């Protein structure tokens, strides 16, 4: 999922949208500057978004191990996730780019399209044992620019005790989920909670409904996308989904679930640690229900990728690739996944992880069919996301889904 740190919970959030022309100009400046950048020959830098104390500590430990393994000094520079792109551009402008940049995968194509990243395969990094979908997750126009350590996606979380008391099985189809949500709605408890907020959180949560129904982010005005949005509207009409969903982030959704105000929720593994703090909450996860039995449940891949920016200093770029190879190695992936509750990107590492956390096995299954948000539209994703955010606000507060999505298609095409 797209991540944002909020205390111990990671979620998607707003990002500053930087015009591609600006990115291209600043990246070109850095590339032309080449070896003219002033650097400490003995110190390498990784720019990331690990501002949360726990994540910062985990990355510090990883970099300490990799420093010893490679015989160099590696430091991390952490900024809020919404600032990674703008920070990278400022550093490009001042000819002080770091050796490795950890981008959210949805932002990486913008820097890649501007010519600012190096094909990791040319630096000797292999994609062996990495599922095709995760390779695509770190690629732009077929070129592999970003190595993922771990990935995440969404799943259906449910209160085991509540469903058992109601005599309900875990739903697997849209019809079953709608019926179950109706039956579970009583008093202050809604049947289900999800984020339809006007930010990346809501778009991230909409993609499994859109994609599993055959919808496509390059054709927002299609009937398949409208049907998915109408399904959300039906949950609100039934009273099973709070109207406040248009204001909720994924962290808000988790709060509702933990407070007993929702029997089920759509959310991601970054909430697990917080869920486990409530000892009397017996929760489970399952794949997100599909339009009809037999359909694939196609969710979004979320997470970050490690990239090597072009600086013109080929020796440092090769060392940067070694840093990524260490950070994204099987052992480091498993360690990071244990801490963050994400799924290792490497298939062998994921197999070990599944045995360690069998309660999240369904999440690994969901990852197996998940795909990247930028696979089809690349750097245009930010325009598509903003257009969908506006459509949610309109359709879920009264406008027809068709009309809202027609406008969204126009906005996405124009880039406004």
Strand partners, 6: 9
Q: What is the pLDDT of residue 114?
A: 87
DSSP assignment of 311-331, as one string? -S-HHHHHHHHHHHHHHTSHH
51: closest CA among 20, 84, 29? Answer: 84
What is each CA distance from 89 to 24, 262, 301, in whole angstroms? 10, 42, 25
The residue whose two tokens read 């017996």 is 282
Residue 38 near residue 96 (C-beta atoms within 8 A): yes
133 three-class SS: helix
Q: What is the pLDDT of residue 16?
A: 47
Question: What would the pLDDT profile of 64-98 be if each residue is shown by its tens digit?
Answer: 999 999 999 999 999 998 899 999 988 988 888 99
Q: Could you tell me where the DSSP H helices lie in 72-216?
A: 84-93, 108-113, 132-137, 160-165, 174-184, 200-212
Residues 282-299 have a mean pLDDT of: 96
Residue 27 has pLDDT above 90, yes or no: no
Residues 229-242 have a mean pLDDT of: 98
Residues 410/244/231/395 CA torsion (nearest 10 deg) = -30
Q: What is the pLDDT of residue 25?
A: 55
Residue 12 has pLDDT above 70, yes or no: no
More confident residue, 207 or 28: 207
**Percent of the chain scoring above 70 in pLDDT:** 90
Q: What is the pLDDT of residue 306?
A: 98
For residue 32, name the pLDDT band (cuts at 50, 70, 90): very low
**Rounded-to-integer distance, Cα 101 and Cα 116, Å:** 11
DSSP assignment of 350-392, as one string? HHHHHHH-GGGHHHHHHHHH-B-TTTTTGGGHHHHHHHHHHHH
Q: What is the pLDDT of residue 219?
A: 96
Question: What would the pLDDT profile of 250-280 be if each residue is shown by its tens digit?
Answer: 999 999 999 999 999 999 998 998 999 999 9
Q: What is the pLDDT of residue 28?
A: 56
Question: What would the pLDDT profile of 151-183 be if each residue is shown by its tens digit?
Answer: 999 999 999 999 999 999 999 999 999 999 999
For residue 62, name the pLDDT band (cuts at 50, 70, 90): very high
Q: How many CA atoms lie within 13 A of 363 on its CB side?
A: 32
Residue 36 has pLDDT above 50, yes or no: no
Q: What is the pLDDT of residue 2?
A: 56
- Domain definitions of the chain by residue range: 5-152+302-369, 155-299+377-414
Strand partners, 262: 190
Domain 5-152+302-369 matches domain 155-299+377-414 at the CATH topology level = yes
Across the chain, mean pLDDT equals 90
Question: What would the pLDDT profile of 42-51 be if each residue is shown by its tens digit?
Answer: 899 999 999 9
134: closest CA among 303, 386, 309? Answer: 303
Q: Could you tell me where the DSSP H helices lie in 71-173?
A: 84-93, 108-113, 132-137, 160-165
> Dmax over Cα atoms in the chain, in whole Å?
69
**Percent of the chain scoring above 90 in pLDDT:** 76
**Rounded-to-integer distance, Cα 371 and Cα 207, Å:** 10
Q: What is the pLDDT of residue 20?
A: 53
Q: What class is the 155-299+377-414 domain?
A: alpha beta
The residue whose two tokens read 């160099």 is 72
Q: What class is the 5-152+302-369 domain?
A: alpha beta
For residue 11, name the pLDDT band (cuts at 50, 70, 90): very low
Residue 97 near residue 37 (C-beta atoms within 8 A): yes
Q: Which of 99-113, 126-140, 172-186, 369-383 has the highest mean pLDDT?
A: 172-186
């Amino acid at each position: 999922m797209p991540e944002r740190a909020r205390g111990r919970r990671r979620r998607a959030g707003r990002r500053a949208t930087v015009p591609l022309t600006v990115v291209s100009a600043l990246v070109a400046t850095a590339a032309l500057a080449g070896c003219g950048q002033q650097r400490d020959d003995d110190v390498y830098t990784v720019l990331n978004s690990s501002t949360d104390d726990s994540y910062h500590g985990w990355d510090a430990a990883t970099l300490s191990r990799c420093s010893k393994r490679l015989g160099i000094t590696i430091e991390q520079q952490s900024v809020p996730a919404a600032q990674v792109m703008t920070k990278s551009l400022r550093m490009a402008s001042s000819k002080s780019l770091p050796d490795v940049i950890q981008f959210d995968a949805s932002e990486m194509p913008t820097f890649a399209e501007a010519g600012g990243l190096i094909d990791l395969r040319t630096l000797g990094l292999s994609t062996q044992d990495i599922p095709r979908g995760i390779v695509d997750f770190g690629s732009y126009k077929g070129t592999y620019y970003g190595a993922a350590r771990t990935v995440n996606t969404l799943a259906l979380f449910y209160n085991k005790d509540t469903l058992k008391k109601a005599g309900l099985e875990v739903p697997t189809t849209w019809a079953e989920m709608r019926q179950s949500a109706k039956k579970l709605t009583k008093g202050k408890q809604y049947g289900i909670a999800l984020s339809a907020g006007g930010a990346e959180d809501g778009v991230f949560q909409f993609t499994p409904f859109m994609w599993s129904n055959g919808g496509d982010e390059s054709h927002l005005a299609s009937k398949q996308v409208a049907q998915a949005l109408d399904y959300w509207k039906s949950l609100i009409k039934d009273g099973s989904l709070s109207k406040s969903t248009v204001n909720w982030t994924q962290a808000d959704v988790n709060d509702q679930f933990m407070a007993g105000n929702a029997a089920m929720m759509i959310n991601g593994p970054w909430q697990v640690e917080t869920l486990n703090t409530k000892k009397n909450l017996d929760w489970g996860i399952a794949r997100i229900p599909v339009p009809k039995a037999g359909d694939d449940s196609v969710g979004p891949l979320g997470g970050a990728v490690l990239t090597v920016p072009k600086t013109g200093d080929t020796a440092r770029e090769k060392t940067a690739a070694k840093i990524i190879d260490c950070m994204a190695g099987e052992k480091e992936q498993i360690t990071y996944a244990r801490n963050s509750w994400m799924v290792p990107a490497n298939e062998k590492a994921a197999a070990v992880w599944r045995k360690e956390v069998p309660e999240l096995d369904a999440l690994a299954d969901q990852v197996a069919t998940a795909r990247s948000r930028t696979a089809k539209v690349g750097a245009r994703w930010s325009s598509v996301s903003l257009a969908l955010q506006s459509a949610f606000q309109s359709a879920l507060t009264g406008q027809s889904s068709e009309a809202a999505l027609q406008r969204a298609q126009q906005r996405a095409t124009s880039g406004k």
